[in-house]
Amino acid sequence: MKKTILLLVAGETSLSVESVFGDKASWFKSALEECGANMKTIEAYKGETYDENDGDAWIITGSADSVMENKDWMAFMEDKIIKAHKLKKPILGVCFGHQILAKALGGEVIRNPVGWEVGSHDVFLTDQGQKTGLYKNLPPSICVYETHQDTVSKTPPSSKLLAENSMGVQSFMVNRSYGIQFHPEFSYDIMRSYCDLNKSQGIEFKPDKNIDTNDGKAVLKNFILELLD
């Protein structure tokens, strides 16, 4: 029987990006369908409600909003994360999702004093990271797409650090809840489009310093194929 993944959308897709590549839900859907999973989309950022019992697993997307804004829908999400985590439901938090997962479970999130991390970047797996199914069949160093300025400064109690780089925490786990700071749903062209959107922040896409990589997609597929049994 197919698993149903609840996709909690934490922010709208930029219209200029969506007009070319579709919305962020569609980027996740294609990967999930390849793994034989169904997907149900909840527009959490619009206040759409959901229950901790919904879905066989959750994926929480990225967002232009900051976890530190503490909006009403974020408080609702944190409450549901805590309850779903207690039920041992598999949860994958992506970028903003990674940060709100950490915050809900007792970690801390700050604006990264080092600045933005944007484009393709190397991420280094810890010994624990190399042992978990989330990174099965991946090398100790992977290249992934990033676009964020907030960061997890302290992981939750009893968590295990799975990956890091010079910008800080890149992945952690607490039981069956997993956080990844990077975007496994991005393609090279989507990453480039987001860089173009943030030119006003002094961000410039440099083709010679960004590579086309599928490491992130492999992590997403591992979450579905290795961790949902």
pTM for this predicted structure: 0.95
Name residues of the chain where pLDDT drops below 50: none
pLDDT at 229: 67
Task: Return the residue matching tokens 């294609």.
Answer: 30
Q: Cβ(179)–Cβ(96) under 8 Å? A: no
Phi and psi (nearest 5°) for 183? Answer: -110, 100
3-state SS assignment for residue 39:
strand
In the residue annotation, 185 being an active-site residue is answered as: yes
Q: Which of 98, 121, 148, 183 is catalytic?
A: 183
- Active-site hit among 121, 146, 148, 185: 185
Catalytic hit among 95, 146, 148, 195? 95
CA–CA dist 209, 228 (Å, integer): 35
> What's residue 217's pLDDT?
95
The CATH number fitting domain 4-227, selected from 3.40.50.880, 3.30.310.50, 3.40.1010.10, 3.30.720.210: 3.40.50.880
165/140 Cα distance (integer angstroms): 12
- Active-site residue flag, 52: no
- Judge contact between 55 and 84, C-beta under 8 A: no
For the four alpha carbons of 149, 169, 55 and 229, in that order, the dihedral sign comes to positive
Summarize pLDDT for 69-120 with one digit per residue, the tens: 999 999 999 999 999 999 999 999 999 999 999 999 999 999 999 888 888 9
pLDDT of residue 118: 84
pLDDT on residue 203:
62
Q: Is 35 annotated in the active site?
A: no
pLDDT value at residue 30: 87
Q: Where are the domains of the chain?
A: 4-227
